[in-house]
């Protein structure tokens, strides 16, 4: 008799905890890199939403096992029964470990300092963005798939993962909660402030220590308090303690920040890494000053283009619209774009019997046949104008040129190429103003640049000259 199976249900937090590689947490080194990337990009979004040139200060403090145990309130664990560790020690010797590794068994800090081995790091990211209201912090940072970037517009993040995955990785690797300090703009600030600095912060700073219930996908607030804000600082400071491998990914992190400085020359970025030994020899300090103060305009949320909707999406839009008539839904509801009032009436008339201009769209959403008919017609009509570009926020030729000149110092630069690369042909890949460092060569631009472009027609000899594609 076959064993009886039971159906289980898991929360979104449980799913991403068990499948963390989907979000870029493949190994300790990449997990540290992804944590830094998510925090930095959240900070950039927060500052750009105010139209303020971002200033992001990143600190990475390496922690020894003794420091971690001290913060947990744990004493050093002395081995009582050595036989429990005999098999593991013998297996390691069979793999050809050198004699010096015997000393590492007695000194876990020394053993974990090898490149690629997991250590612990306190990552702190501070920005000058819009900050976050006290009541929004738990859901915004402690509930997976909860976010403010859903909809049709260009964003760096969309699915409500980012900072939540950093919290999940912190809980999984170190067990520590996340600490948040934030201050929003002062109420009644008016327009009398420095446009580059932005409005001053509120009189108090919110301080929240946050954990997450993985099974329920719910935030767990451990501490919630307020403190005076005499400097009138505005922004958000987030601190997480995560497992990672700085030695394996420090070059990736440095490259990411440099590429980010190219595509966001209006941002001031800094990184301070402090090694656990406290001697300063392995410390790293990087600073990328801004070259421009021209922040790209914020993308506007727009509706779906009619030719892109399917039955399921159309049904969802119909059920949640606030419009009272079908023509109003098509032309004025905001759920769809590129449909004028007269064109909406022509579309309804083309649908045939059973459709009227004053039909209730929410009731129509419950009729599968009518939804299918309307979706098919919207895809077939050719009179809809192209979608608006207001939902996009391109960096612009001015900023891109400044970023290339500031970081790469090329001999010449134009919006698509610059002679300033280490290799013969180097493609700098970005998406939504985010550097793409992994899976190089798998994109269309790389294939076209390497196989389709006739560089000789531009009097460029790839055997002699170095070309960068942006």
| Residues in Cβ contact with 98 at an 8 Å cutoff, skipping those fewer than 6 apart | none
Is 97 a domain residue?
A: no
Q: Which domain holds residue 131?
A: 12-66+117-288
What's the DSSP call for residue 85?
G
CA neighbor of 375 nearest in space, from 317, 320, 323: 317
User: Of 380, 401, 418, which residue sits at a domain end?
Assistant: 380
Binned at pLDDT 50, 70 and 90, residue 126 comes out as very high
pLDDT, tens digit, for every residue of 411-463?
Answer: 654 444 444 445 578 888 888 888 888 887 778 888 888 888 888 888 888 88
Best-predicted range by mean pLDDT (71-85, 89-103, 168-182): 168-182
What value, to the nearest 5°, has the Cα angle with vertex 218 and ends 216 and 224?
A: 145
CA neighbor of 260 nearest in space, from 20, 27, 28, 36: 36
- Which stretch of 162-171, 276-285, 407-416 has the lowest confidence by average pLDDT? 407-416
- 206 or 280, greater pLDDT: 206
For residue 179, pLDDT over 60 is answered with yes
Collapse the DSSP code of 122 into the 3-class scheme (helix H, G, I; strand E, B; otherwise coil) and give the result: strand
For residue 107, pLDDT over 70 is answered with no
Asked if residue 250 and residue 177 are part of one domain, the reply reads yes
* Residues 350 and 330 sit within 8 Å (Cβ to Cβ): no
How remote is the C-alpha of 296 from its chain's centroid?
Answer: 18
How remote is the C-alpha of 426 from its chain's centroid?
Answer: 25
Share the mean pLDDT of the chain: 84
Q: What is the mean pLDDT of residues 231-246?
A: 94
Is 177 a domain residue?
A: yes
Q: What is the pLDDT of residue 418?
A: 42
C-alpha to C-alpha distance for 421 and 410, rounded to whole angstroms: 8
C-alpha to C-alpha distance for 347 and 94, rounded to whole angstroms: 75
Asked if residue 321 and residue 246 are part of one domain, the reply reads no
Asked if residue 223 and residue 132 are part of one domain, the reply reads yes
Q: What is the pLDDT of residue 198?
A: 84
Q: What is the pLDDT of residue 99?
A: 46
Instruction: Tally Cβ neighbours within 10 Å of residue 293.
Output: 11
For residue 204, pLDDT over 90 is answered with yes
Binned at pLDDT 50, 70 and 90, residue 29 comes out as very high
Asked if residue 319 and residue 446 are part of one domain, the reply reads no
For residue 322, pLDDT over 60 is answered with yes
Asked if residue 245 and residue 201 are part of one domain, the reply reads yes
For residue 122, pLDDT over 80 is answered with yes
Burial class (CB in 10 A: 0-12, 13-18, 19+), 417: buried
Q: What is the pLDDT of residue 249?
A: 93
Is 77 a domain residue?
A: no
Asked if residue 27 and residue 55 are part of one domain, the reply reads yes
Q: What is the mean pLDDT of residues 39-66?
A: 92
Lookup: tokens for 163: 């900072």
Asked if residue 220 and residue 138 are part of one domain, the reply reads yes
Lookup: tokens for 377: 């017609």
Best-predicted range by mean pLDDT (180-189, 220-229, 279-288): 220-229
Q: What is the pLDDT of residue 408?
A: 81
Is 57 a domain residue?
A: yes
Q: What is the pLDDT of residue 1?
A: 61
Q: What is the percentage of the chain residues whose pLDDT exceeds 70?
A: 86
CA neighbor of 438 nearest in space, from 26, 20, 18: 26
DSSP string, 184-232: -BPTT-TT-S-TTT-SPBPSEEEEEEEEEETTTTEEEEEEEEEEE-TT-
| Residues in Cβ contact with 134 at an 8 Å cutoff, skipping those fewer than 6 apart | 182, 206, 208, 224, 226
- Which stretch of 51-55, 186-190, 243-247, 292-296 has the lowest confidence by average pLDDT? 186-190
Q: What is the mean pLDDT of residues 29-55?
A: 93
Is 389 a domain residue?
A: no
Asked if residue 369 and residue 456 are part of one domain, the reply reads no
pTM: 0.84
Q: What is the mean pLDDT of residues 92-107?
A: 48
Q: How many domains does the chain have?
A: 3
User: Of 288, 316, 337, which residue sits at a domain end?
Assistant: 288
Is 397 a domain residue?
A: no
For residue 93, pLDDT over 60 is answered with no
Asked if residue 238 and residue 178 are part of one domain, the reply reads yes
Q: What is the mean pLDDT of residues 25-39?
A: 93
Helix axes 397-408, 246-263, angle to 10 degrees: 130
Asked if residue 453 and residue 356 are part of one domain, the reply reads no
Q: What is the mean pLDDT of residues 324-329?
A: 93
Is 4 a domain residue?
A: no
Is 84 a domain residue?
A: no
Asked if residue 233 and residue 124 are part of one domain, the reply reads yes
> Which CATH number characterizes residue 259's domain?
3.30.565.10
Best-predicted range by mean pLDDT (14-23, 83-92, 171-180): 171-180
Lookup: tokens for 196: 């580059």
Asked if residue 319 and residue 177 are part of one domain, the reply reads no
* Residues 245 and 252 sit within 8 Å (Cβ to Cβ): no
Segments in 160-245 forming alpha helices (H): 162-173
* Residues 188 and 163 sit within 8 Å (Cβ to Cβ): no
User: Of 261, 288, 315, which residue sits at a domain end?
Assistant: 288
Q: What is the pLDDT of residue 434?
A: 86
CA neighbor of 270 nearest in space, from 292, 240, 290, 244: 290
Strands (E), 22-87: 55-63
What's the DSSP call for residue 237?
E
Strands (E), 245-362: 268-274, 284-288
């Amino acid at each position: 008799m076959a064993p009886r199976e039971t159906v289980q249900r898991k929360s979104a937090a449980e799913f991403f905890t068990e499948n963390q590689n989907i979000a870029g947490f493949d190994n300790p080194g990449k997990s540290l890199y992804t944590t830094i990337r998510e925090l930095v990009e959240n900070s950039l979004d927060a500052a750009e939403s105010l139209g303020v040139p971002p200033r992001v200060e990143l600190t990475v403090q390496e922690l020894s096992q003794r420091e971690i145990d001290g913060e947990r309130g744990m004493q050093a664990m002395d081995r009582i029964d050595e036989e429990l560790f005999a098999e593991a020690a013998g297996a390691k010797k069979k793999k050809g470990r050198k004699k010096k590794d015997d000393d590492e068994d007695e000194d876990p800090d020394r053993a974990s300092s090898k490149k690629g081995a997991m250590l612990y790091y306190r990552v702190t990211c501070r920005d000058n963005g819009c900050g976050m209201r006290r009541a929004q912090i738990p859901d915004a940072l402690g509930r997976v798939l909860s976010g403010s970037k859903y909809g049709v517009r260009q964003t760096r993040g969309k699915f409500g993962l980012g900072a939540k995955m950093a919290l999940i990785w912190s809980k999984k690797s170190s067990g520590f909660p996340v600490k948040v300090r934030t201050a929003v703009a002062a109420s009644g600030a008016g327009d009398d402030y420095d446009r580059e600095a932005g409005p001053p912060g509120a009189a108090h700073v919110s301080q929240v220590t946050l954990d997450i219930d993985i099974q329920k996908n719910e935030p767990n607030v451990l501490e919630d308090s307020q403190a005076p804000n005499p400097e009138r600082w505005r922004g958000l400071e987030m601190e997480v303690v995560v497992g990672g491998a700085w030695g394996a990914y420090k070059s990736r992190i440095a490259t990411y920040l440099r590429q980010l400085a190219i595509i966001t020359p209006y941002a001031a970025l800094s990184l301070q890494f402090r090694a656990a030994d406290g001697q300063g020899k392995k410390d790293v300090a990087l600073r990328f000053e801004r070259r421009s103060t021209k922040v790209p305009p914020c993308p506007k949320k727009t509706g779906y283009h009619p030719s892109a909707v399917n039955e399921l999406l159309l049904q969802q839009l119909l059920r949640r619209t606030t419009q009272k008539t079908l023509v109003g839904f098509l032309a004025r509801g905001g759920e769809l774009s590129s449909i004028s009032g007269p064109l909406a009436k022509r579309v309804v008339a083309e649908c045939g019997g059973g459709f009227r201009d004053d039909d209730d769209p929410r009731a129509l959403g419950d009729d599968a046949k009518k939804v299918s008919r309307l979706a098919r017609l919207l895809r077939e009509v050719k009179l809809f104008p192209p979608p608006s570009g207001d939902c996009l926020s391109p960096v612009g030729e001015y900023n891109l040129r400044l970023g290339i000149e500031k970081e790469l110092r090329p001999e010449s630069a134009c919006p698509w190429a610059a002679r300033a690369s280490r290799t013969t042909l180097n493609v700098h890949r970005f998406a939504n103003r985010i550097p793409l460092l992994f899976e190089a060569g798998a994109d269309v631009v790389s294939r076209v640049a390497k196989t389709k472009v006739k560089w000789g027609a531009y009097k460029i000899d790839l055997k002699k000259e170095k070309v960068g594609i942006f």
